Chains A and B, each alone.
Chain A
């Protein structure tokens, strides 16, 4: 099975909050990442969290990490149409300094005006 799992689709109304969830399997992961991919474009690093943290906030983005359950979530406050994209969760399974990121299949976020 996949090392990193995400639900494939999420639809929200403009102005609402979006919550994208991810589960991972490697308990030694040191960093966990959220990337955004707009249609036809490459991946843009949105934010990351170190495994000894349980929350990180960055403007409209809030990352929550439950290390016991290996569950990661990305909350986008006041979702805008420009947030429509595919969001990938990724883990760094070999710890600090690793390079071989493992990605989920991505969650496609659709924002309804």
Chain B
């Protein structure tokens, strides 16, 4: 059973460009979470999605950031008009349906560098 997959692993964008980060959850998992990790910091929750639904986006900046988890295909975190402060590691996690605790399985992350 493959783990959570994220691509690309490293992404370099110039200021003003768009960044698209992809996450394929573990097989059988229908819940996806995105976290951001700034240098020397812990992970900060951004958004929680189920298939075709955003459940909680309270941790996501209101502007330039969006997330989706379509019926088919990976979850996408999209950052428009990137700025240097967006440079961070972005982690995706997934969990199976019907779980009773916050046991989340993390992907290897996408390290975004904005130049």
The answer to whether A and B interact is yes
Q: Which residues of A contact B (CB under 8 A)?
A: 2, 4, 30-31, 33, 35, 40-45, 48, 88, 92, 96-106
CB <8 Å contact, B43 and A41: no
Q: Which residues of B contact A (CB under 8 A)?
A: 4, 6, 31, 33, 35, 40-45, 48, 55-56, 58-59, 91, 93, 95, 99-109
CB <8 Å contact, A105 and B102: no
CB <8 Å contact, B43 and A31: no
Q: Which of A2, A40, A43, A101 contacts B102 (CB 8 A)?
A: A101
Q: Which residues of A contact B59 (CB under 8 A)?
A: 100
Contact A43/B43 with A92-B101, A99-B102, A101-B102 known, Cβ cut-off 8 Å: yes
Q: How far is the CB of A108 from chain B (nearest CB, A)?
A: 10
Count, A-B residue pairs, CB within 8 A: 67
A106 to B40, CA, bound (A): 8
A96 to B98, CA, bound (A): 12
Contact A42/B42 with A92-B101, A97-B100, A100-B48 known, Cβ cut-off 8 Å: no
Q: Which residues of A contact B99 (CB under 8 A)?
A: 97
CB <8 Å contact, A99 and B95: yes
Q: How far is the CB of B75 from chain A (nearest CB, A)?
A: 14
User: Which of A41, A96, A99, A105 has the most chain B CB atoms closer than 10 A to its own CB?
Assistant: A99
A6 to B8, CA, bound (A): 31
Task: In the A-B complex, list the 7 residue pairs whose CB atoms are closest, starting with the nearest.
Answer: A103-B42, A42-B106, A43-B106, A92-B102, A42-B108, A103-B43, A105-B42
Contact A102/B108 with A96-B100, A97-B100 known, Cβ cut-off 8 Å: no
Q: Which residues of A contact B4 (CB under 8 A)?
A: 42
CB <8 Å contact, A31 and B104: no
CB <8 Å contact, B42 and A97: no
Q: Which of B31, B105, B108 contacts A41 (CB 8 A)?
A: B108
CB <8 Å contact, B45 and A48: no
Given contacts A40-B108, A43-B43, A103-B43, 4 further A-B contacts (CB under 8 A): A48-B101, A100-B48, A103-B35, A103-B44
